[in-house]
Structure 1
């Protein structure tokens, strides 16, 4: 009896390993096709039909992701979208006269980091906001905020003494 049990356990383990290996080698499209009862799923009976409906429901609920295109890039934004983002940034900076860093702006507006560079650049080019500092230490101000505060650029140069 123990020999039969050992044989069954060995076969079950081997079967499970083979199934896992097949799943790892399959593409997402193949898996979805099988789950939805496609050609790979066969034309099974009533019991198989019930199972695929349950799996299809689970797959549909578990994957409400928004597709962005290749590389996780953002979808193309219209000029109105960018203008709305610029207005949001300017009004936020007007409420914070001490200025904000890009990560603080991102958190306050609830947007992704890759959504900010273009609106920040355009707002700076248009003179709606100004900036002081470099890289992650860059602080943005509404209007000419950096010049009003007497930053290094407003004082004339990089802070070196002349003489």
Structure 2
């Protein structure tokens, strides 16, 4: 069973995704998390602390995902592209947390911290791809392909008819060989 802190962050993510940052109150988070107001305040003394906790969660999940990219049996590029595509969300909740943080970016008070956290996620993925590819341009190209697929995942946009991630990876392997 998730801890009270995790239940609060899970509820906060859900509210951000469904309603955006402007509509969220601490009372709404309490109700959604099924914790007392005191329980919420024990972990997060304010909305700012709650947002900071979500950004910490994003950084933690990003670091774990970067390690998964590095150790993926099929290689970093295949992992990055597959988990970026619709239906291939990264294990560990990174996709959901990322989407919630994007919704948090609407808040001007949290804007810089959100941009910094998103930049860290981007840097983690790029570094993991670079570890395999050893070429900054190829690592960036692989990341851009994954980012395009990720945008489709976040917006619910389907892949083109009769094409799938394996087709994309097969073609990419012609240009981005996996390094041993």
**TM-score, structure 2 as length reference:** 0.29
Structure with greater strand share of residues = 1
**TM-score, structure 1 as length reference:** 0.31
Highest RCO, 1 vs 2 (Cα 8 Å, sep ≥ 6): 2
Structure with greater helix share of residues = 2
